[in-house]
Amino acid sequence: MITCFPIAFLNVAPNLSNIIAIEEDNYKLAHYNIFYTEFEEESISSLIHEWIDNYDDKKRDFIVEGRIHLSSKTKSLGNGEINQNEWMEIELISIKESLPEINQVVLTYGKFPTTSDEITLLESFALADGINLNDKISLYTETGKQDFTVVGFAKSIEYASYKLSQVAVGYLNMDAINSITIENIDNKITSTLVYFNEEMDLQELRNIAEYIKENIDNLESASLALFWFSRDTSYRKNLLDALKLTSKYMTAASLFVFLTAGVIIFVITNRYVGEQKKNIGALYSFGVNKQKIIFSFFIRMFVLGTLGIILGIIIAKLLTLYIINNLADDWGLFSSSSELTPFSILFTLTSAAIVSFSSTFFAIRSLIKLTPYEAMRGKTTELKSTGIIMVLSTYLPVRNIRAAFRNLTRNRTRSFLTILAFALAFTLSSSLMYTQDSLDNTIYEFYDENIAFDLEIELGFSNMQNRSIIEQIIADDRVVTYEFFINNLIQFKDRPENLAYLLGFQYNSTLYRKNNANLVDGTWYRPNSSDIVVSKYVATSLNISKGDKLSFYYFDSLINGTVSGIATELLNNLAIMMDIEFISTELKNVFNLPTYNVLPVANKLLVAYHENANINDIQDDLNQNNPYVVLAVSKEHLLRKQVGLVRNQSSIVILMVSLGLIVGFVSFFSTLLISIVEREREFAIMKVYGYKNQEIILEILIEGMILGFFSIIPALFIGRFTAVNLWIKIVSDSFFNITPFYLYPTQVFLLLFGFISILISVIPSYILAISKPIYEVIREES
Amino acid sequence: MNEIYPPFIQAYDLSKHYTLGQINVKALDNVNLQINEGEMVIILGPSGSGKSTLINMIGGIDSPDHGKIIINGNELQTLTSKELTIFRRKYVGFVFQFYSLIPTLTALENVVLAAELVELKGKELRKRGMDVLNAVGLRGRENSYPSQLSGGERQRVALARALAKHPQIILVDEPTGQLDEETGIQMIELIKETAKLFNSTVLMVTHDKSLIKYADQVIEMKSGRILVKNFE
């Protein structure tokens, strides 16, 4: 245990990191993903190829590929973890006769679409929605509703997994794409991918990107929507963030394992030393050197340790493979591995050796002080004169409880260490469970307190400029209020490889409340100012602080701002927030638009409806029947997405919670087993004197309950402390502030588990202890 | 034999064998005996004669293959395991050959372990424990652990533990085996005295013939059989 878990844990992150790096090249993750505002001629990709070729004298090995990449909307089937009939965006990628060379897609089941009514889905999305082969899904596009048969599932290097990205993806052939677009798509594309088959440093990529952008600007026919450095800001980056978090979790868990295992080793070795005392006394009296005897214990530990290490490394390899297989599946990786790094093995073996030999030393320390005569007589130095607990226990009204307290205070060291090991293991589990509860609750609370809209309706920029379209939506008498809203990807000026979402709200928005409690640093933006509030995640990822200048492109114009604050943002983690009025003012001249009360820069409407309004019906109507609505999603959908994103570590957390519970159980079981089996003779004597089996087992059960009580109750409280100061801090430092929250069912579960552990530890141990007939046991020399 | 009151302990045709590997050992072979209440009975015999097996059966911690044992009207063979436990609780105190004290309990605590069975608690429990320890001459040693006591003192604690319930039967297995001659005599006199005090019937197993003078009845055994019974 002391070997296999730490080695496995310390190797998860390096293996995953390795897999991610290898796959990015094996499956050719694009360096650039160049999006155009409209369909462009396919020939633009050849132009881009030419530009890169002629950029400088350096001959580069690269590929350029065009594709059609559209957005549509669909309703979930709801057969998996996604709620039924939930509207969501689905990204649609074209698949031609030959599969793409860049951003490769690998079929995992079924086939790629060959007809216009077939679709292949991202495997992890299908799993999340419980979609099976031959199921039908409906896509709502500019040509109306169309049904497609699911013919296959695939993994994509571009999208990682649905769990990490919360993005639904479907692959259609060109006939299908043609059927869902009004425009004739022959020889047309919406984006160009570029892949460099060599090491590229960031500055070189930036320079080439600038060069391509300039050339596209010079073309009258093409218009750039977004130039995405898809290796730097990508769903795969989510993977790396998840990996960093995983790594921290696992390192901390390894420490718990070392501590708990150390306690168990001490208890078992202590017991063994006790058993050997008379033999040791005899050896002393024959003239064997005390140091030699003590050294023999270390040799014993060395031999047992060596055997344990060999077994531990074998199990570690299997455990690493198991963990990585599960994570690889969860995170949409293509392959798996279970290499054990020399560092992890060396670190674990060194730590295990220190813990094991220290525990052995403390266990045999008492031997050093005994004379041979004392050893042979079985003197135990840990026995003290009757303590206060022992004296007080004689006054307890119930005999079994009296006896239990008396028995526990006999070997105080062992009782204390049993409590310590059980408490440590339970602290690990309880703290992780509290953290998960707190994570979920933070998100739910955020949405309860700050998000007051019912629907986020995306109309797109051109539709937002059409007053009649907006009036059609807000004329619904179920509408209470509405606000214009920007929620769009932007690119930073000084670091084009980084993307973020610009969230533009009205300063006095009632539908997104700017709560000071959500501020981590600084203040919210002032009205009509260039103040920017960045999300904690953006601030941490891009190393942005309060007071920093930030410039970004929006509608090809440069917007300059200053960071006034950093906040927890759970509508969109990767966000910067500004006053929509300010952005509108900055861009009014660009558009030269009429000055009626429509802000030209928004792409979405936030709408709140009456309490009695059926939001699902409204949503269905907008998405199905209003051709101007790109997508209307509910607050619940956004909440579920956020919870899904946050739960990408759930398989790791479950593993570590289970580890804590298993280690806790093992520590309790092993120490109770020793404590019970060594009292075999005592139980026989008690039975001779007339104690019934039930009375003896009740006594031991009460002993177990007392130990359990003193372990579990403190662990529940220390678990809270650990949750706040360790796990929550790890997440809060990177992503968003978490408010500690403790659910009673979690505590009840832990108490129940503890109780069952005690039962399972006591009963078999006692059965083992009474398995011999009484007369045989008492016949043995004491 | 007393004709008016039936014998307190009766055993008829007791037989018991053990299998040790390939060898079948007859531990008891058609043993019959009768013991009156309050008697001190010494069971003599060499090692392996069946003495310990006999008292284990009378104490209800082993059962014969054939025969029956009746103690104060209770036929032990008809009792279930649970009923045998209750029987031992009510009637029997054991003094083992190797004391069998619990090493992690003090002298008083070892004695109290037995006394608790008669539903004593608190001050009463402690008083009972101290009383029997005083009766066996261990006043002032109640807080000592077995490892801190001499052989004789340990044997006294074992006797005190047996007496703590004021049992009607005290079964004693080789009480002087680990003691020197003088201490051994002191122990036997103590057993006789305290048994009289509590009106207990004593069955004592020994191979030491010098102790027979203390007995009301002597039973000699060899190879699982009774050779001689000395009835008064």
In whole angstroms, what is the distance from residue A162 CA to residue A126 CA?
9
Query: Under 8 Å CB-to-CB from A282, ≥6 apart: which residues?
Result: A376
Strand partners, A111: none
In whole angstroms, what is the distance from residue B192 CA to residue B215 CA?
9
pTM of the predicted model as reported, rounded to 2 decimal places: 0.78
Average pLDDT of the residues in A610-638? 92
- Cβ pair B89:A380 closer than 8 A: no
Paired tokens of B201: 């019937």
Nearest residue of B to residue A398 by CA position? Answer: B121
Residue B158, helix vs strand vs coil: helix
Paired tokens of B57: 């059966």
- Which among B52, B125, B145 has CB closest to A383? B145
Is the model's pLDDT at A373 over the cut of 80?
no
- Residue type (1 letter), A755: F
Strand partners, B42: B204, B218
Residue identified by tokens 């290898």 is A22
Least confident piece of the model among A27-41, A281-295, A475-489, A599-613:
A281-295
Q: Name the average pLDDT for chain A.
A: 85
- Cβ pair A394:B125 closer than 8 A: yes
Q: What share of chain A in percent tops pLDDT 90?
A: 32
- Which among B59, B98, B113 has CB closest to A782? B98
- Which among A374, A383, A782 has CB closest to B100? A782
Is any Cβ of chain A less than 8 angstroms from the Cβ of B29? no
Q: Cα–Cα–Cα angle for A675, A680, A683, nearest 5°?
A: 105
Paired tokens of A712: 């579990």
The beta strand positions in A631-694, using DSSP E, are: 631-634
In whole angstroms, what is the distance from residue A683 CA to residue A689 CA?
10
Q: How far is A394 from chain B (nearest CA, A)?
A: 6
Q: Cα–Cα–Cα angle for B153, B156, B161, nearest 5°?
A: 130
Instruction: Please indicate whether residue A579 or residue B25 has the higher confidence score (pLDDT).
Output: A579
Contacts of B145 in chain A (CB under 8 A): 380, 383
Q: Are the CB atoms for A29 and A230 separated by under 8 Å?
A: yes
B148-184 per-position pLDDT tens digit: 888 888 888 998 998 888 889 999 988 887 777 888 8
Q: What is the pLDDT of residue B21?
A: 75
Phi, psi at A227, each rounded to 5°: -110, 105
Instruction: Please indicate whether residue A45 or residue B63 has the higher confidence score (pLDDT).
Output: A45
- Confidence bin at A389 (pLDDT 50/70/90): low
Give the Cβ contact number of residue A187 at 10 Å: 11
In whole angstroms, what is the distance from residue B13 CA to residue A411 CA?
47
In whole angstroms, what is the distance from residue A523 CA to residue A514 CA?
10
Helices and strands, number each (H, E), in chain B: 6, 10
Cα end-to-end span (Å), chain B: 8
In whole angstroms, what is the distance from residue A720 CA to residue A724 CA?
6
- Confidence bin at A277 (pLDDT 50/70/90): confident
Q: Cα-atom radius of gyration of chain A, to the nearest Å? A: 33
Instruction: Please indicate whether residue B43 or residue B121 has the higher confidence score (pLDDT).
Output: B43
Please provide the size of chain B in residues.
232
Average pLDDT of the residues in A170-193? 91
Q: How far is A669 from chain B (nearest CA, A)?
A: 22
In whole angstroms, what is the distance from residue A425 CA to residue A262 CA?
12
A668-703 per-position pLDDT tens digit: 888 888 888 778 888 888 888 888 888 888 888 888
Paired tokens of A73: 């909307």
Give the Cβ contact number of residue A295 at 10 Å: 11
In whole angstroms, what is the distance from residue A353 CA to residue A305 CA?
8
- Confidence bin at A251 (pLDDT 50/70/90): confident
Q: What is the pLDDT of residue A383?
A: 45
Q: Which helix (H) or strand (E) holds A254?
A: helix A235-286
Is any Cβ of chain A less than 8 angstroms from the Cβ of B117? yes
- Cβ pair A383:B125 closer than 8 A: no
Paired tokens of A27: 């499956």
Q: Cα–Cα–Cα angle for A761, A405, A701, nearest 5°?
A: 25
In whole angstroms, what is the distance from residue B144 CA to residue B148 CA?
6
Phi, psi at A519, each rounded to 5°: -75, 130
Is the model's pLDDT at A284 over the cut of 80?
no
- Residue type (1 letter), B152: G
In whole angstroms, what is the distance from residue A83 CA to residue B57 CA?
72
Q: Are the CB atoms for B168 and B72 separated by under 8 Å?
A: yes
Q: What is the pLDDT of residue A782?
A: 40
Is any Cβ of chain A less than 8 angstroms from the Cβ of B48? no
Give A462-467 contacts, CB < 8 A, sequence gap 24+: A463/A628, A463/A630, A464/A598, A464/A599, A464/A600, A464/A602, A464/A603, A464/A604, A464/A605, A465/A593, A465/A598, A465/A600, A466/A628, A467/A596, A467/A598
Q: What is the pLDDT of residue A372?
A: 62
Which residues, numbered 752 to 781 in chain A, qualify as contacts with chain B under a Cβ-Cβ cut-off of 8 Å? Answer: 773-775, 778-779, 781
B81-139 per-position pLDDT tens digit: 888 888 888 889 888 877 778 877 789 988 988 888 877 777 888 888 998 898 888 88
Is any Cβ of chain B less than 8 angstroms from the Cβ of A678? no
Phi, psi at B117, each rounded to 5°: -70, -20
- Confidence bin at A72 (pLDDT 50/70/90): very high
Residue A639, helix vs strand vs coil: helix
Least confident piece of the model among A221-235, A371-385, A472-486, A712-726:
A371-385
Paired tokens of A291: 């140091």
In whole angstroms, what is the distance from residue A496 CA to residue A499 CA?
7
Residue identified by tokens 């942005």 is A544
Ramachandran quadrant class, B50 (left: phi over 0; alpha: psi -120 to 50; beta: rest): left
Q: Which domains does chain B have, with CATH numbers?
A: 9-229 (3.40.50.300)
In whole angstroms, what is the distance from residue A418 CA to residue A706 CA?
11
- Which among A406, A685, A782 has CB closest to B109? A406
Give A322-326 contacts, CB < 8 A, sequence gap 24+: A323/A8, A323/A12, A323/A652, A323/A655, A324/A12, A324/A15, A324/A16, A324/A19, A326/A651
Helices and strands, number each (H, E), in chain A: 25, 21
In whole angstroms, what is the distance from residue A302 CA to residue B179 CA?
43
In whole angstroms, what is the distance from residue A244 CA to residue A14 CA?
10
Query: Under 8 Å CB-to-CB from A321, ≥6 apart: which residues?
Result: A336, A337, A338
Is the model's pLDDT at A432 over the cut of 50?
yes
Average pLDDT of the residues in A464-487? 90
Give the Cβ contact number of residue B72 at 10 Å: 16
Paired tokens of A80: 């998996």
Distance (Å) of CA A60 to CA A52, A197, A206, A681: 8, 8, 15, 82
Phi, psi at A560, each rounded to 5°: -110, 140
Q: What is the pLDDT of residue A371?
A: 63
Is any Cβ of chain A less than 8 angstroms from the Cβ of B129? no
- Cβ pair A399:B106 closer than 8 A: no
Q: What ipTM was assigned to the predicted interfaces of this complex?
A: 0.82
- Cβ pair B102:A692 closer than 8 A: no
Is any Cβ of chain A less than 8 angstroms from the Cβ of B95? no
3-state secondary structure A134-152: CCEEEEEECCEEEEEEEEE
Q: What is the pLDDT of residue A589?
A: 64
Residue B30, helix vs strand vs coil: strand
Q: What is the pLDDT of residue A770?
A: 76
- Residues A321-345 as b or e (16 or more Cβ within 10 Å = b): bebbeebbbbbbbbebbbebeeebb
Q: Cα-atom radius of gyration of chain B, to the nearest Å? A: 17
Q: Are the CB atoms for A203 and A14 separated by under 8 Å?
A: no
Q: What is the pLDDT of residue A240?
A: 73
